[in-house]
Structure 1
Amino acid sequence: MGTKPVRDLVNWGRKSALWPMTFGLACCAIEMIATGAGRFDIDRFGAGVFRPSPRQSDLIIIAGTVTLKMGTVVRRVYDQMPEPKWAIAMGACASTGGPFDSYSTMQGVDRVIPVDVYIPGCPPRPEALLYGLMCLQEIIMREAPAAYIFESDGTVHRQRRLEGDGEETVAEVAPLDAEAAEVLAEVKG
């Protein structure tokens, strides 16, 4: 008997009990809040109670425009979340910067944190968030337990290894660009 049944059981538990933390920055947050209401009932997917603290959550939903100054806060909050952790970028602004191409707007939250699911729209409807959550659950079911490397100094490197990938095809998620490196330097410095 291999490790696949055990991995499937662990991943089933993870996907069925997501603890989301909302990080609403603009109009997409209203749609995110509506998803938790009775009409759309996000609780059907095991993600019903939005957590108030990053230390109590394993999923962060970034909804809205992320400014460069807010990028450091997003990264700090993401770093406080326990492993394993996932991120959803909800809306055009969180995914790509949206219609705002200015000196102060980050062109996608994936410049500071690794994003697992992008949900397009301006703002996306609650059904789109539910579909994005289902896509994330499929990703979680395919994750290998060895996707996290714990170093002796306490740092954790997250790598994406999915079922069907060869052992040699493990790559780090969301390589940082120069702008994100500056933001991270501010957080650490």
Structure 2
Amino acid sequence: MALLPRTARLAFLSTPRSYSAAAAAAAGASPTSPAPYGGAPPPAMSKTAEFVVSKVDDLMNWARKGSIWPMTFGLACCAVEMMHAGASRYDFDRFGVIFRPSPRQSDCMIVAGTLTNKMAPALRKSVTHSSS
């Protein structure tokens, strides 16, 4: 598929690959009316799940409205995951997220990794210098 030109790939993907007898019978019976949906109704969400979803929605709406500018403080392998989040596959720029190098320019700080006793004074120093 990788060697096909884009137009040929789109034409290939849009053609039907299999045509079942049930689909042929349904198409021959009444081509103008769609088949009724016979699936089960969607499962009901629990109150806890509804609460979590509503809070996540509120957070996402706030983030889109405010365009969060985080400062990342990468300490371990989690810092690589934050780099992936800013890269082209996940692309946090779509949500207005712009990674800032300084705590004075950022809205929040993401500490990616395990904060040890040895590294805590450096983090504390960067936070206190940003507020003064």
TM class by shorter chain equals 0.3 to 0.5
Higher strand proportion (structure 1 or 2): 1
Q: Which has the larger radius of gyration?
A: 2
TM-score by length of 2: 0.47
Q: Which has the higher helix share?
A: 2
TM-score w.r.t. the length of structure 1 is 0.34
